[in-house]
Amino acid sequence: MKRMLALLCALALLSAPGAMAAPAEDAPLPDGRSRYVMDVTLDTQAARLTETVTVTFMNDSGAVWPAVCFGDFVPAVQEHAGAGACSTAVTAVTGADGGALDFAYSRDEGLLTVALPRPLEPGQTDTVTICYEADVPRATGERFQAASFPGSGGVTFRLCQFYPMLCPWRDGGFVHHPYIFDGEAFFTECSDYALTLRLPEDFTVIASGDERLLSAGDGQAIWQITGEKMRDLVITATTEFAAPCTGQVNGVTVNSWGTPDQAAQAEASLQAALDSIALFEEKIGKYPYDELDICVAYMPAAAGGIEYPGLVEIIQADMTAPEALGIIVTHEVAHQWFYASVGNDQYDEPFLDESFASFCETLYRQYVLGDSPEDIAADQFSREWLSDDIFDIDLGYGDYYAVGDGNGGWNYYAAIYALGRSFLWEVRQAMGDEAFFAMLGSWYEQEQFQVATIDGFLDHLAACSGNDPAVAALVGEYMAR
C-alpha cells in the first residue's frame, strides 16, 4: 500500500459551466514555491475560523493540470473530537480575475478539487482564492483544538493544518493521504506565507515564521505572520501562557512557552533546545530559520511532542525526569532538519524524518547527556529481534497496518522509530564518524527545502561510503529494497 490515495484531478468538473478567463500571468515565485496570502479571523467566543486563502502556484510537473487539489484535514479532526459537533464550509472559490470557479468539496475525504479557468500548462502559474469556515473543537488531545490547562482560567487555540493545503503532484496525480492520529503523516512542499490574523487583543500569538502585532484597540488585535520556505504554518493563540524563557545560540532565537505553573518545564525545554541546535549545527548543518518556538501543549502523554516548521509542541512533562524531557525536545527539534528542511512524504516514506529524528536522540545522549557509545549501542533494537518483513524500515505508514494483525501502531513504531534509529547507528559504526557525518551533512545540504526520497538517500549513502559492502549489507538487512 505504497500510496493510499494518489489523485488525478476531477476531470468531470471541466464539463461544467464556469469562468473561462485567460490564465494568470506567470507571477514570480521564488524557486517555484507556492505562495499563500491569508486573511483569518478567529472568533474565540464561538470557536470558529473564517478564512480567505489565496494560493499562487506553479505547475512544476510535465503534465497539464485541468484542476488542482487541496487537502483539508480539519473535518477528520472534528469528527475524531466529536462526531457531528463541528462543521466546515467552502463558501466560494475564485480565480485570479475574481471569477467564480467550479469546485467539489468532500468532507469525508478531506479534499477540495478546483477546476481551473483553463488547463494549466507546465511552467505556468495560476492563483486560486478559497473562502473557508471551520469550527474549532473544544477538546483535548487534538492538533486542532481549543482547550484549557486545569486551573489556568484561560484558553489556548492550537491551529494546526487549519486551512486548505495544496496537494503535491507526484507520479501522475495529486497526492492526498488520510489524516492519522497516532503519528504524523503529512506531505506538503515548501511555500511562502503572509497571513493577517484578527482576534481579541488579550490573546498572545505564537506561530511558524515571524509574528508581529500590527494594531490593538477596542478589544481586538490584528497580527501579521510571515514565513518563507515552510511546509505548513501553525498558530498558537493563548491567554494561558506567561512570558517566554528566551535564549540564543549561533544567532538563532529560541522562545520556550508555558503557563506560569509550567515555568520549570519551559526553562528545561529551552536549555535542551539550545543544546540540540548547537549540536545539530555542528554535526549536520545550519538551522533553517532564525527563530524556534517551543510550546507546552495539552495532548496525550503518548504523543511526547509534535513538530512544525519553526515551532514544536511538547506535552506537559513530569519534571522529576528532566532527561526524558530533553530527549523529547531534541527529537522534535531534530525535525527542523529532517521534515521542515529535508522534506519527505511522511506517509509513504516515514523513515526519512522519524528515523532520522530518532537517531538524533542518540547524538543528544552522547554529546549533551554524556552517555557512552556502549550504553547507547546496548539500547538499540536488534534487527534479529524483529525479523518479519513488516518491520522493514522502508515501508509506508499504511503497510504497517495492512497486515491485519491488530498491531499496526506497534509495527510502525518498532520499524520507524526503533529499528530506523538502529540502522543509522549501525551505518555510523560501519562508516566511521568522519565519513558518516560528512555524508549526513552533504545529504542535508543537497536536499534542503526539497522533497527527498529513500531511493535518493540510498544512492547518496552508497556514493559517500564508496559502495562499502558493510553498508550495503545493512541496507539489505533493514530494508525491503
Domain spans, the chain = 6-238, 245-478
Report the predicted TM-score, pTM, of the whole model to 2 decimal places. Answer: 0.93
**Each residue's pLDDT tens digit, 26-71:** 457 999 999 999 999 999 999 999 999 999 999 999 999 999 999 9
Which of 182, 84, 203 is CA-nearest to residue 137?
A: 84
CATH second-level architecture of 245-478? Orthogonal Bundle (1.10)
CB 224 within 8 A of CB 196: yes
pLDDT score at 393 = 96
Q: Which of 349, 332, 343 is nearest to 416 (CA)?
A: 349
What is the structure's pLDDT at 1?
Answer: 35
**Percentage of the residues of the chain whose pLDDT score is greater than 90:** 84
Distance CA 353, CA 347 (A): 10
Alpha-carbon distance of 208 to 191, in angstroms, equals 12
- Average pLDDT per consecutive 10 residues, the chain (481 residues; last block may be shorter): 41 36 54 97 98 97 97 96 93 98 97 98 97 96 94 95 97 95 91 98 97 97 98 98 98 97 97 98 98 92 88 89 92 98 98 98 98 95 78 94 82 94 98 98 98 98 98 96 89
- Dump pLDDT digits (tens) for 173-194: 999 999 998 888 899 999 999 9
What are the C-alpha distances in Å from 173 to residues 6, 57, 116, 320, 460?
A: 6, 16, 16, 49, 27
User: Would you state the pLDDT for residue 183?
Assistant: 84
For the domain spanning 6-238, the CATH number is: 2.60.40.1730
pLDDT of residue 385: 76
Q: For residues 51 and 162, what is the distance between their CA atoms, to the nearest angstrom?
A: 9
The pLDDT assigned to 8 comes to 45
